[in-house]
Structures are given as structure tokens and as C-alpha cells.
A and B are shown apart, each in its own frame.
Chain A
Amino acid sequence: MTIIERQPLAHVGRSVPRRDAHEKLRGAAQFVGDFVVPRMVHGKVLRSPFAHARVVAVDASEAEALPGVVCVLTGDDLTDLDPYWGHAIKDRPIVALDHVRFAGEPVAAVAAEDEATAAAALNAIRVEYEELPVAGTIEQALADDAPILHEGPLRPGLFHGLGELPPREGNVCYRYRIDRGELESVFARADLIVEGEYSFPAVYQYAMETHTVVAQVEGEEITVWSTCQHPFLVRAELADLFAVPLASVRVVVPYLGGGFGSKSYTKMEPLTAALARKAGRPVRIQNRVDESMVTTRRHGMRCRMRTAMTNEGNLVARDVDCWFDTGAYADNGPRVTATGGDAAPGPYRWHAYRVDARCVYTNTGPAGSYRAFGAAHLQWIGESQIDELARRAGLDPLAVRRDNLCLPGEELRNGAKSLDADLIGDVEQAAAAVGWSEPKRANVGRGVSVGLLAAGAHPVSTAIVRLEADGQVVVLVGTTEVGQGPRTVFAQIAAEELGVDVEQVTVRGTDTRFTPYDRSTGASRSTTIAGLAVQRAARQVRDQLEEIAAGDPLEPTAYPELLRRHFGFTGGELIGSGEVAPTGTGSYAEGPVFWEVCVGAAEVEVDPETGVVRVRRTATVADVGRAINPQLVQRQDEGATLQGLGNALFEEMVFEDGQLLNDTLLDYRVPSFADLPNEMTCVIVENEDGPGPYGAKGCGEGALAAIPAAVVNALADVGVPMQELPLTPERVWRRIQTLKEEGKWPR
């Protein structure tokens, strides 16, 4: 065990209160749907009722004639632009042109003086469709006679970040393959092999605030107020789409009511901007929940996996094929597929592995990012195979992990960043927290799981710190406050560097006209990367202060006096800027910026009569390098734990022939207070081994990959191995009946 001497810090490492609590508790915090822009009208979207159809004709004349209707946007209004967008693959028109590929796809949009008029106008638009065969599932989309959703070559988007895009094969829009060693010969020599087919459901992120955009277009100037996590990427996509300079597009982002990936990249902004352009007035479009459910979701996935081990408990090989259902448009599917592929082997010392991951178009709503994507899909499968191997060999699953997990500094994937975490220590702490070695009652089981998520996204962030003449500090940084707490954490960092109180520092939302560039808010990158930019910017201000002080002691109370000395009157300000870029800093170039640790444990109890699984205890490990605000870290892990329980136990979007059947919160259940485990532990590990400020690295996603895997393993520990999520009572009960028939229950 290493003892780390920590330099005492004034603000970092303390659970200071959230800087935004006051506004949020009083209902005073402004979200996009809360403000009104002068002359603003209301937009509503006409969505396709068919999962796959030709659009023969759209007649909006009657709708346009209704009193109170400002305009109706259809595909005919887009002839002056290249109307296709998509940050990974430009496969998606702003509104359907002659082809709809999912039920819910925008076919037209109305702008009207009020919402009721807009809604009435939708009913007056006549659309003639010609239905086409539907590829509603991965199997249907991969069939020999499957309808092909997209013809012609794929066009790379601005931010695909995936090297050369391989050519489309049928409905497979992206394929990611990695391998190491001589797979078949290692399998041939292995003592124990487990293999199976698995399925993972499509799920809805359900940020409580639905996607909402206000857009205003005046000549070349486009302004959008948007519920977006990545304002600068949205700006670039809009500039590209409407062929205007970057600086002509202004993206303003206030508080977001949750994101979890559902508001990453571009969503409703192109449509709202196109409608505002035609209306000549600002337009607001606010999705209802059923609309947001077909705006983005998590990928459903099918997987075939086999894993091999020796009798002594050495893991030797793994072979993975998986197919991600990305829906009708790629959205972030290629990245999800690649991340899933990277997560599939797990952090073990393999002699050989092979992963082949495909991203498949289907006639369902597009799938994009959701917290811990890729890892959440694959970790439960790989980890359940390791437990099954351990059971067959008569070994303790924890011991198998101890013997096979990579150690800090070991190479995980060819050419990628080596392991920067103590996974064995992490999983032992998680196991202990759920009482690993305590005796178990009947029908109670425990499981652990270990995984990694390639995190950090592209490491490009800039920040500006301004010291005002009154000693107050303003941090300008393009990170979106989704609820995860960057406005508090960045205030702590700036306060630390400048020696001021946290209350003296203000961090506001992004306005791309004034806020410097930040690549995105996602992939657990903000504290690590944007936080480093804030730290560097604050240090620059401190350097200036030192210069002005010329040897006098630097007391924060004296800052106003120093500014007065420098500027000769009460005014002026000191400005520091900080940058993080992949070049020049060495370790960033190899990627990922850090490996986010996905380690957890669970204890469950199953009722064999009903199939109900009750999660009694959970533990997650926030291996964060350095917790800048431990309470916020803990709350992140708890939130991810509950989402993980939803994903493991009951969340599932049900499609039939491409139609979403459960599109309300009545039929799509998310975890409530009643689903809280009896005990929920978050272990914070601080080894100062992260690349961020003070040794920090990101957190908040890992638990969502770790918890479903731990729950599946705990249920298998009771004797009910499952290969399909979610673990609904019906599915678990049926499995128990099959096990009974096979003479395997009770064990």
C-alpha cells in the first residue's frame, strides 16, 4: 500500500456547497424552456407515423392558411442548402425529403403564435406516404433480403474521430475490430470455455428536461438557446449546415435539466433553426417525452461471446461479436460501437482476444450516447462469463480477478494508454462493502464486476479567468452544467489557485460568443480537462498579480489595491487564459486521456415464486485520482447506481415493427425512491494518478456499467444465470422454471 503525502489545500478536496443550490432550490434557475425571446413563436413537429415509407407528397397549404400560423417548414424549403447533418455520419436530413426511416421522424414543422395553434396546424398538413418493408430489429436489418435504409456511400461528419470510415456494408454503417494473439490456438488449448448469446435492451436516458431549443435567424446570424451538452460542436454543425462562418453562430446554454448523453452533439437545433429561418421570427420547439424518446436513446445490442480459462484459473482468451442497433441514423453509434469494442475484453491479461463490433441501421429512433456507453453494454456479459468459469473451476470469482487483472502501468490495448488505476484494490474494497465473505441466506447472492471505459474524449479545452477590480473572480469555460457540478468544482479550482473564497468565484453558462472553446461535456472529461484549463488560466492571473506585487506578499484582500496600482484607477481587470491540447503535453496524444474505472458489487435477493429481484446492497468505486468535491463525487456514483439498477432490472424500450410501444413514463418505468437499495456505498479512491488538476480524473459513468454487471453476477450466484437484460420478474421466473426442468434449481 502506498501512502501518499498530500499537500494541504484550502478548497480542493472539500465538499463545499453547490454554487447553484440557491437558485435551483428557489425555482429561480433558468432552463431553456423558461425564457421567452421577444417576438418568439412556437414550433411543433409533424412526425412520421410509419417506421419506413416513401414520402410521396406533403401539402401544407391548408395548415398555412390557418389564423395564427406563421409558416410550415417542409423539405421543399431546404433546396438552397445541403440539408444533411450528423457529427459522425452525415446521413440525416433536417426534415424528411422523400424517405422516412423511423416512426417519429420529422416530416414538417409548424411555427405559430401559440402552441395550441401549432398543434392544430399539424393536423391540417396532408402527407401521402407509401409504406416500405420495415427492418425493425438487428436481425431483420442483417437479413439477406433486408430493406437497405441508406443508399450510396457514407459521408463522414465533422466529428466522427474514427480515422477512415470503412465503407457501408448493407445496413452496417460502421465496424470496429481489434485483436491480439493467436485466438484459435489459444482456445484449442484452453481447459474451460464458456460461451453464449446475449441481448441488451434499448433504453431511454430520460433527462427530466426534454430537448428544447429556441432559435433565431437574422441574415447570416444564427442564435440558438439550447439544451445541449456540447455547445461548440453544435455551433460547428450549424455553421456547416447553413454555410455561415463559425462566429456567425451563437449557442447559448443555461442550466440543463439532466443530460446523461441524451443532449450530446446536435439534436433538435438544425430543425428549429431552419424553422426560424423561414418564420423570420425566433421559434421555440420543446419536445414532449414521447418525442425525446425518438430523438435519442441507448443502443440495444446483440452479442455472442466466448471466454477461455485454464483449470488453474488463468484467463487466456476471449472472442466477441456484437451488433449495436443505432436506429435510422448513426448519431453517435460509431463511437458507441468502438467504445463497446474497446470495453469488450475487459482489463485482463489475455493471451489472445478478438472483437468484431458492428453498428447497424434499423427502422427505429436514432440511438446515441448514454452514460457509460459501450462499457454498460459489454461489461455484464464479459464479467458473467468470468464468474461462470470461476464456478466451473471451483474458484472464488474475486480470486480469479485478483490473479488476472492488469496492474497499474500494464498495457491494455495495443498502442493505448497503459492502465492508470489499481483495479485489484478497487474490486476488493467494493466486495468488502457488500459483505463478500459473510454467510448468505438462501436466495441471496453477491457479485462483483470490473471494467474500464475509455474516457476523456478529445482533450481540447480553453478557459479564461478574469479578476475584477473588486476582487471577484469570473471563470469563463464552455462546460455545460448538467447537474454534475462543474460550476462548483471550477470555482473551487480557481479559488484554490488564487487564494480567494469559493463564494468570490462565479462560473456561468456558455455563450459561444464570449465563452472560449471547450470540446464537449461528456465522457467524464470536464473536471480533468476543462478543469486543467481553468487551473492554468487562474495560474496565469496569479503570475500577473505576482509581477504587479513585485515582491510584496500576495494577500487576496489586497487584490483590489494591486489592480488599482496597475491601472492607476478603480477599474481594469486581469485576464488569464488556459489551454489543454493534445500536442505538447505528451501523454494526451496516445489516448484515452484516462481509463475510467467501472468497479462495483451487489447483493441481491430473488423471490423464486415471483421472479422479483430485490437489490439489497450495492457498492461502487469512484477511482477519481483526487476528489475535488467528495460529496459531489459520491452523489454522481449514487445517481449512476440508480440508473444502473433501472437498466439491470426493468428499463427497456419495447419496439414492434419499428413502433415504440411504451412511449410514456407510465409504461416506461424509471427507478423511484422505492427502488433504493437498503445500503448503497460509494468508495472514493484517491491515488492522485489522474492527468487532471491535483491528480484528478473523471468519474460518474463507471457505476452505470459496473452495477448491472454486479447484479447479473449476484443473481447467477443464487443460481440464476441470465443472458438477457433487463431482469424483469417474468424473465427471471421463466428462467427458474427452465432450470427446474433441467434439474438445476434449487442448486
Chain B
Amino acid sequence: MIVELQLNGRPVRDDVAPQTLLLDYLRDRHGLTGAKRSCDVQVCGTCTVLVDGLPVSSCCTLVADVDSRDVLTIEGFAELPEFERFERAFVDHAALQCGFCTGGMLLTTKFFLDAGLLGTNEEIRRGLSGNLCRCTGYHGIVEAVAELAGANE
């Protein structure tokens, strides 16, 4: 089947098998390997991308379901001017270690900040709890996101 979508701000058109997962499509067809596979069951969030601005687990989403939608991966986000302040906050607070969860973490954070849903530490902890990180102990991520949320006000 043919899908047409906006991928990181550029129109793409591809012939895909109907059962193709968005995660495999991004990684194998477009070489966008920033979205990672881990749990495969929508628990860990490391495969997160934004579809029309909403966080989606690409491991459990068919590419057919994002036909004519707008998909943003970490590679696309990194090209946006606003990325710089996310980067600075994550670097300053050492909010990453292995980096495997980091792309998903940043995209989920972007969604919540865009929606104005993160203010208190409690909101940050609740908002991001769909993204696992096994390395950092989360503390640095909370600090980084709190700084970003503060800057938003």
C-alpha cells in the first residue's frame, strides 16, 4: 500500500506492506534510527515519536495509521531551533547516560511542555512515567525538565 506523510517536515511517499510497524519503517526505510526498540509492548517509551504533536509508541503503531499525518522523530526535532534549549538543559543536568532512552524522553518532554502540562515536580514525574530509563535514576531528567518548564512560564 502507498502511504504519504510529512516526515520531519518533508513530504514522503512510500510503498509499504500493510503490517509494517512505524518503528521499522522509520529505521529500515528512512535510516532514522533515533527511535529505538526495547520493550515492544508500549511500556518503555524509547520508540516514541510525535504524530501530529502527540507522543506515540512507534513499536505498536502501523505506518498505515500515520498516513497523511505529521511525524516528528528525534532527528527532526534536533533540527528545530527550540531544540537548543532542551539540549542545554539535558547537558547541564547530565540527564543522560547510555542515551538509549534519550530521544523518546526529549520528545515526550516536548509534547508536555508544548501542551503546558508540566509545572510541578509531581507533574513531571507523572507526565514522564511512560518513558523508562534504566541508567540515570531519573533525578537529572527531572531537574532538566523542571528547568525547561520553569523557563516556559
Contact = CB atoms under 8 A, between A and B. Distances in A.
B137 interface: yes
A680 interface: yes
Contact of A639 (B36, B46, B97): B97
Contact of B138 (A17, A25, A642, A665): A642
Nearest to B133: A208
B12 to A, nearest CB: 18
B58 interface: no
A399 interface: no
A595 interface: no
B50 interface: no
A135 interface: no
Interface string A660-704: 000011100011111010001000000000000000000000000
Interface in B29-82: 32-41, 43-44, 46, 73-75, 78
A643 B134 CA distance: 8
B129 interface: yes
A206 B35 CA distance: 18
Contacts of A255: 98-99
A620 B97 CA distance: 19
Q: How large is the interface on A (under 10, 10 to 19, 20 to 34, 35 or more residues)?
A: 35 or more
B74 A26 contact: yes
A288 interface: yes
B16 to A, nearest CB: 13
B100 A257 contact: yes
Contacts of B102: 24-25, 27
Name, among B36, B94, B99, B126, the residue most crowded by chain A CB atoms within 10 Å (CB to CB).
B99
B140 A638 contact: yes
Given A643-B134, A676-B142, A484 B97 contact: yes
A27 B73 contact: yes
Contacts of B34: 26-28
Interface in A18-32: 18, 20-31
Majority SS of interface residues in chain B? loop
A642 B98 contact: no
A209 B78 contact: no
A483 interface: yes
Interface string A1-34: 0000000000000010110111111111111011
A676 B97 contact: no
A672 B124 CA distance: 12
A673 B96 contact: no
Interface in A44-103: none
A744 interface: no
Contacts of B101: 208
A208 B136 contact: no
Interface string B97-123: 111111100100000000000000000
A288 B59 CA distance: 12
Given A26-B34, A28-B34, A666 B43 contact: yes
A674 B125 contact: yes
B87 interface: yes
A20 B87 CA distance: 12
Nearest to A290: B40
B78 A208 contact: no
B41 A257 contact: no
Contact of A485 (B97, B106, B134): B97
B41 A665 contact: yes
B38 A672 contact: no
B147 to A, nearest CB: 15
Contacts of A27: 32-35, 73-75, 78, 102-103
Nearest to A643: B134
Contacts of A664: 39-41, 43
A379 interface: no
B75 A206 contact: no
B140 A206 contact: no
Given A635-B97, A639-B137, A25 B132 contact: no
A632 interface: yes
Contact of A18 (B36, B38, B91, B139): B91
Interface in A630-654: 631-632, 634-635, 637-643
Given A26-B34, A257-B99, A638-B139, A674 B41 contact: no
Contacts of A260: 134
Contact of A289 (B39, B90, B99, B125): B39
A29 B141 CA distance: 19
Contacts of A207: 98, 134
B22 interface: no
Contacts of B148: none
A25 B43 CA distance: 21
A484 B138 CA distance: 15
B128 interface: yes
Given A17-B91, A27-B34, A31-B36, 13 more contacts: A25-B96, A27-B74, A27-B102, A208-B38, A208-B44, A257-B100, A260-B134, A483-B96, A635-B140, A638-B136, A643-B137, A673-B126, A673-B138
Interface of B: 27, 32-41, 43-44, 46, 73-75, 78, 86-87, 90-92, 94, 96-103, 106, 124-126, 128-129, 131-142
21 contacts: A18-B96, A25-B106, A33-B33, A34-B33, A207-B98, A208-B46, A209-B98, A210-B37, A257-B36, A257-B98, A257-B100, A289-B40, A483-B100, A635-B94, A635-B97, A635-B140, A638-B136, A640-B137, A643-B134, A674-B125, A676-B142
Interface of A: 15, 17-18, 20-31, 33-34, 206-210, 255-258, 260, 286, 288-289, 482-485, 631-632, 634-635, 637-643, 664-666, 670-674, 676, 680
- 9 A-B pairs with least C-beta separation: A27-B34, A483-B98, A24-B99, A638-B137, A257-B100, A483-B97, A27-B74, A34-B33, A665-B39
